[in-house]
């Protein structure tokens, strides 16, 4: 029986990962669902329980290091160990850097605390238990963590930081049996961009990216689960993402133009 902890599990990719894990496991799975919004977490938990999963709900703000430590402690105390940690919690943001006033730059730091430090704090607390079971670590980054996207300076910074941290950690854990999988979704059909920050650090209410051809949440979650199961190093989603990563090495100016083309004209 696998014990799997998912942050950012109240909505979007995290909630769908939880549902798919509950549905697909031949043996009963034990899930720890963490996020800030208790009611949404409970709704996801109810659907997972109906599929046969055992579920522990832990309301958690991953921007608080003590909350991250308590999350892992509660998970281990309840289920006796941990096999998988899926670092999915994150906040989006879209604003041209020149539009951000000096007094509003504090939200850049808030974004880093959630997207990067939340993953670091949870991973640090969980690592001893994952090593005991030769478990798996999953980091849900973004294609914006491989290629800088205009209007996404804050978001790209957090996701590039995640990329570097988990790449280094993967190397440190060679020979321990613990795998590190970093997933790089592109535009996914969720509400994350609508809830993310605008230039003033407020909920944007709109997406700054073109949504044409957005990947479904189901497909994204399935690709992440597959990568986790196979202990893949990276899951780069979409053909454009894969070719863009290659072109960045040989034609960086072309990649920059393509990245700008992905931004809505009114931005």
Name which of 175, 79, 176 is nearest 127 in CA terms: 176
Per-residue pLDDT 10s for the chain (267 aa) are 899 999 999 999 999 999 999 997 656 899 999 999 999 999 999 999 999 999 999 999 999 999 999 999 999 999 999 999 999 999 988 888 888 888 778 899 999 999 999 999 999 999 999 999 999 999 999 988 888 888 889 999 999 999 999 999 999 999 999 999 999 998 888 766 566 788 887 776 555 555 667 899 999 999 999 999 999 999 998 766 666 665 565 566 665 666 666 665 433
Cβ atoms < 10 Å from Cβ of 219: 14
Please give the CATH topology (third level) of the domain spanning 3-261.
Rossmann fold (3.40.50)
Q: CA-to-CA distance for 204 and 199, rounded, in angstroms?
A: 8
- Strand locations in 18-145 (E): 30-35, 54-59, 84-87, 136-140
> Residue 148 carries which DSSP code?
-
Q: CA-to-CA distance for 45 and 83, rounded, in angstroms?
A: 19
**pTM passes above 0.85:** yes
Name which of 231, 188, 224 is nearest 207 in CA terms: 188
> Residue 102 carries which DSSP code?
G
- The full set of domain ranges for the chain reads 3-261
Cβ atoms of 177 and 83 within 8 Å: the answer is no
Q: For the segment 50-106, what is each residue's pLDDT rounded down to a tens digit? A: 999 999 999 999 999 999 999 999 999 999 999 999 999 999 888 888 888 887 788
User: Across the beta sheet with 30-35, what order do the strands follow?
Assistant: 54-59, 30-35, 3-7, 84-87, 136-140, 179-184, 234-236
Q: CA-to-CA distance for 113 and 55, rounded, in angstroms?
A: 27
**Predicted local confidence at residue 242, as pLDDT:** 63
108, 129, 155, 184: the active-site residue:
155
Does the annotation mark 155 as catalytic? yes
> Residue 208 carries which DSSP code?
S
């Amino acid at each position: 029986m696998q014990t799997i902890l998912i942050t950012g599990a109240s909505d979007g990719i995290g909630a769908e990962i939880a549902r798919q894990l509950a549905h697909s496991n031949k043996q009963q799975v034990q899930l720890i669902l963490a996020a800030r919004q208790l009611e949404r977490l409970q709704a996801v938990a109810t659907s997972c329980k109906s599929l046969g999963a055992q579920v522990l709900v832990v309301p958690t703000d991953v921007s608080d290091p003590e909350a991250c430590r308590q999350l892992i402690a509660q998970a281990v105390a309840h289920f006796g160990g941990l096999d998988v940690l899926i670092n999915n919690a994150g906040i989006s943001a879209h604003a041209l850097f020149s539009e951000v006033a000096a007094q509003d730059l504090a939200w850049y730091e808030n974004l880093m605390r959630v997207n990067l430090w939340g993953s670091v704090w949870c991973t640090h607390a969980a690592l001893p238990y994952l090593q005991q079971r030769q478990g798996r670590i999953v980091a849900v980054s973004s294609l914006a963590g491989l290629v800088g996207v205009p209007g996404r300076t804050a978001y790209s910074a957090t996701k590039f930081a995640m990329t570097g941290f988990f790449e280094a950690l993967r190397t440190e854990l060679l020979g321990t049996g613990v795998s590190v999988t970093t997933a790089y979704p592109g535009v996914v059909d969720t509400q994350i961009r609508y809830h993310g920050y605008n230039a003033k650090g407020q909920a944007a209410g709109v997406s700054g990216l073109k949504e044409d051809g957005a990947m479904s949440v189901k497909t994204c979650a399935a690709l992440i689960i597959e990568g986790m199961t196979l202990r893949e190093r990276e899951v780069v989603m979409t053909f454009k993402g894969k070719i863009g990563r290659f072109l960045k090495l040989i034609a960086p100016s072309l990649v920059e133009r393509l990245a700008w083309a992905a931004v809505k004209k009114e931005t």
